[in-house]
Chain A
Amino acid sequence: MSVSKLSWADKHRPKTLDEVVGNDAAKKEFLDWLQRWDERGKAAMLHGPPGVGKTVLVEVVASALGYRLIETNASDTRKQDYLVNVIKPAAFNRSLFGSRLMIFFDEVDGISRDDSGALNFILELIESSRVPVVMAANDPWSPNLFRIRDKVYMIQMHRIRVQSIVKRLRDICKNEGVRCRQEVLMLIAERSEGDMRAAIEDLELLYSSREEVDLEEAEKILSYRNVETNIFETLRMAAFAPNLEKASSSLSSSEEKPEDMLEWVFENIPHVSPRQSLFQALKYVAEADVLFKQISKNSIWRILPCFYHKLASAFLTIPQKNRVNFHFPNRIRERFKRFQHERNLRELESLFMKELHLGRSAFRRDFIPLLRVLSQNDAFRLGMLNRLVDQHLKELYGSIILGEARKRFS
């Protein structure tokens, strides 16, 4: 029995890069990024489900390459004076400390969206830090990270494979002097759903107070870990499912609303599919769209499974799938911006439509381009702006017509 009070997870925390199990691609990507961190941006974000080794990877790499790690987590970032007095000098005055520095924000998706102080601070670092800035997040699509996401180098980390977890558990058992059964280790590994930390905690739970445990007992003790599969996992499972049933059920069991699931699939099919199967795959997506409109319009929810079958078919029709990082749907990201833009367009055109005796589609098709060309002429532009008495309308004209005109012709 161990005398140490440290949990096994902490006690057996990897110290070297070799001890970090799995995610070889992410390791390599992270090292590459660090070698050339300034050209590839000042900041990187490791993202993936809990317990896959994001924090450990940062710690181990920092120590291997001789960086001193300045670490913060979500609770630290709420303290403004900590940011200003500790992090800021580290980011901007390299000489203050003797060694090379790396700034690490752990659990960055835990920063509240309303905490604009912390977010602005991070954005400032991303722009101009003089040392590498690394972040870790479980859910990179958290709305909290909306402003950060596009400005950092994203590195995806995956769940760890069962075999890798078993191997690591066996090493720990040997080290702790417990005799473990292969079946029990398999059980722990499978139930962990790729979460190494959870697996080690389960191992500790089973063996810290007894020498031997049989499978039946282990099953009783370990209640099923209820890992909420996130959308990326759902898509991955659907995309690489062996048959329609599995693909369809992984999509339908997601927490995502059906209409959002459609967005996710529509966004990602072209990334996953090679050219020759794209047409067929998108046809299924388009049919799913039609089907869903009918379902919600007529409230025939009992045929919702057909909708998921269509989406799943889109994946299944692809013979050789590209391994990709799934993308967040643009259409969801831009929803609000597009809504506002549409409102602006309507406001501006309502002014012209009555006087021009025109419909909306004709106004956009024929007159917006016309106004853009004509507004190149100073006299026309001034004449137009003079007639738009309302300051608000002048601004709308400026952003919709003149803004575009400048972009297109300058």
Chain B
Amino acid sequence: MSNAVSETFNFKQPLFPLMMSVADLLWVEKYRPRTLGEIIDREEVVSRLKSFIKIGNVPNMLFVGPPGTGKTTAALALVNDLYQGSASGRFLELNASDERGINTIREVVKDFARSRPSTGVPFKILILDESDNMTQDAQQALRRIMERYASITRFILLANYQWGIIEPIQSRCAVFRFPPLSPTHIREGLIRVLEKEGVSWSEEALEEIVKAARGDMRKAINIAQSASGGSKRLTRESILQVVGVLHPREIREMISEALKGDFLSARKRLAKLLYDDGLSANDILREMNNEVMSVEMDERKRLQVVNALGEANFRVSMGADAEIQISTVLAALVADVQR
């Protein structure tokens, strides 16, 4: 997609609606830096990446950090700079959402990795998102492919947790860390977007966004876009309202229902989150954990609930049923403390 087209796009006069991608309507995508030069807040990472481009070679790389810290952006910008905008056919991006069992690794990844690079470039690049969610077996298969086709394919693995990647892969990669962005960087990034969109803001509004984003640039921009609505103005009130909606309010309500002893309502809400909203058990459990830590309750009870949370988390990741396992956490919230 072309950046120039999206820059000139205007809500009231869609120019070439059919030629534009749905993502252009979203600020995060519209203002995603396209080149390494546009990335302002990762000086160390960027300068190392630029030096690779200068010598015309890149190693296998592992980008580690929480969501919204620029891993994907840096990887895509690197590809763009390296291939001077004509990257098609020279790189492949595999989202975590794509099927990622061992078979995909053996088929899709292997097919891409062993194909000859097109003329003019010595190697292709494969970006694997959320690679720490791959099974051990799949990672072993990946490692062999990395070794075998090292001369014609480079891998960029993106991960939330470095220790989710098996040791032999880690040791074959240059590791880049993407810690949560500092409040100053979030502010700067936001202001850049808001100025381009012609949205005015109040200082408190900005503070609320920075607080809610917790170092996640994607979240910060999403909050800003939804709160600005049609009004072109960000106020503290509009931010607070939106944060409630974007941030699963349902989870808070589910927990407070359980604390009141209404298990059946809480379970119904859980089913809604899992099946209607289609949220992953992982996300629900993480959000529940945040909430349980901050809500007012007996300390011994909190212990009981947190234990149940840990157990549920573990079991769901081993393939147990999400609703049944998370229900035990709700029951722990309902229960009086066991003496």
- B296-339 vs A, CB cutoff 8 Å, 1 = contact: the mask equals 00000000000010011001001111011101100110111010
Report the bound CA distance from A56 to B29 in whole Å.
Answer: 70
| B residues in contact with A342, CB < 8 Å | 275, 278
| B residues in contact with A378, CB < 8 Å | 230
Report the bound CA distance from A275 to B267 in whole Å.
Answer: 14
| A residues in contact with B332, CB < 8 Å | 279
| B residues in contact with A358, CB < 8 Å | 95, 97
Q: Is the CB of A370 within 8 A of B246?
A: yes
Within 8 A of B (CB), among A6-56: none
Most buried by B among A342, A351, A366: A366
Instruction: Return B149 CB to nearest CB of chain A, in Å.
Output: 24
Q: Is the CB of B76 within 8 A of A341?
A: no
Report the bound CA distance from A283 to B331 in whole Å.
Answer: 9
| A residues in contact with B263, CB < 8 Å | 270, 275, 278
Closest to B218 in A: A366
| A residues in contact with B277, CB < 8 Å | 364, 368
Instruction: Please classify the interface of chain B as helix (H, G, I), strand (E, B), loop, or mixed, using the class held by over half of its residues.
Output: helix
Q: Is the CB of B11 within 8 A of A380?
A: yes
Q: Which one, B15-23, B39-47, B48-56, B105-113, is touching chain A? A: B15-23
Report the bound CA distance from A206 to B187 in whole Å.
Answer: 92
| A residues in contact with B167, CB < 8 Å | none
Within 8 A of A (CB), among B84-122: 93, 95-97
Q: Does A179 contact B (CB under 8 A)?
A: no
Q: Does B261 contact A (CB under 8 A)?
A: yes
Q: Is the CB of B280 within 8 A of A361?
A: yes
Contact A356/B28 with A361-B283, A365-B279 known, Cβ cut-off 8 Å: yes
Closest to A393 in B: B22
Q: Does B80 contact A (CB under 8 A)?
A: no
| A residues in contact with B129, CB < 8 Å | 357, 359
Q: Does B276 contact A (CB under 8 A)?
A: yes
Report the bound CA distance from A181 to B278 in whole Å.
Answer: 64
Q: Is the CB of B11 within 8 A of A364?
A: no
| B residues in contact with A297, CB < 8 Å | 319
Q: Does A286 contact B (CB under 8 A)?
A: yes
Instruction: Return B244 CB to nearest CB of chain A, in Å.
Output: 10
Closest to B284 in A: A365
Contact A355/B25 with A278-B334, A373-B226, A373-B246 known, Cβ cut-off 8 Å: no
Report the bound CA distance from A373 to B223 in whole Å.
Answer: 10
Report the bound CA distance from A388 to B17 in whole Å.
Answer: 9
Report the bound CA distance from A370 to B242 in whole Å.
Answer: 9
Contact A283/B328 with A374-B226, A377-B229, A383-B11 known, Cβ cut-off 8 Å: yes
Q: Does A282 contact B (CB under 8 A)?
A: yes
Report the bound CA distance from A262 to B325 in whole Å.
Answer: 13
A369: contacting residue among B67, B246, B264, B325, CB under 8 A: B246
Most buried by B among A283, A345, A374: A374
Report the bound CA distance from A280 to B17 in whole Å.
Answer: 57
Interface residues on B, range: 35 or more
Report the bound CA distance from A372 to B248 in whole Å.
Answer: 13
Instruction: Please classify the interface of chain A as helix (H, G, I), strand (E, B), loop, or mixed, using the class held by over half of its residues.
Output: helix
Within 8 A of A (CB), among B170-216: none
- A382-410 vs B, CB cutoff 8 Å, 1 = contact: the mask equals 01101111000000000000000000100
Q: Does A289 contact B (CB under 8 A)?
A: yes
| B residues in contact with A3, CB < 8 Å | none
Q: Does B124 contact A (CB under 8 A)?
A: no
Instruction: Return B61 CB to nearest CB of chain A, in Å.
Output: 16
Q: Does A216 contact B (CB under 8 A)?
A: no
Q: Does A306 contact B (CB under 8 A)?
A: no
Report the bound CA distance from A283 to B271 in whole Å.
Answer: 18
Q: Is the CB of B230 within 8 A of A275?
A: no
Report the bound CA distance from A358 to B327 in whole Å.
Answer: 29
Within 8 A of B (CB), among A274-331: 275-276, 278-279, 281-283, 285-286, 289-290, 293, 297, 330-331
Q: Does B295 contact A (CB under 8 A)?
A: no
Q: Does B235 contact A (CB under 8 A)?
A: no
Report the bound CA distance from A226 to B159 in whole Å.
Answer: 60
Report the bound CA distance from A212 to B58 in whole Å.
Answer: 101
Q: Does A264 contact B (CB under 8 A)?
A: no
Report the bound CA distance from A386 to B280 in whole Å.
Answer: 30
Most buried by B among A276, A334, A355: A355
Q: Does A232 contact B (CB under 8 A)?
A: no
Report the bound CA distance from A364 to B320 in whole Å.
Answer: 21
Contact A266/B324 with A357-B129, A368-B277, A379-B230 known, Cβ cut-off 8 Å: yes
Instruction: Return A11 CB to nearest CB of chain B, in Å.
Output: 48
Report the bound CA distance from A160 to B328 in whole Å.
Answer: 36
Contact A352/B23 with A286-B315, A373-B242, A383-B17 known, Cβ cut-off 8 Å: yes
Q: Is the CB of B320 within 8 A of A351?
A: no
Apart from the given pairs A334-B275, A359-B95, 14 other A-B contacts in the complex at a CB distance below 8 Å: A276-B336, A279-B332, A282-B328, A282-B331, A289-B320, A361-B97, A361-B282, A364-B278, A367-B26, A370-B26, A370-B246, A380-B25, A383-B11, A383-B25
A-B contact pairs, 8 of them (CB 8 A): A279-B308, A293-B321, A360-B97, A361-B282, A373-B229, A376-B229, A379-B11, A386-B14
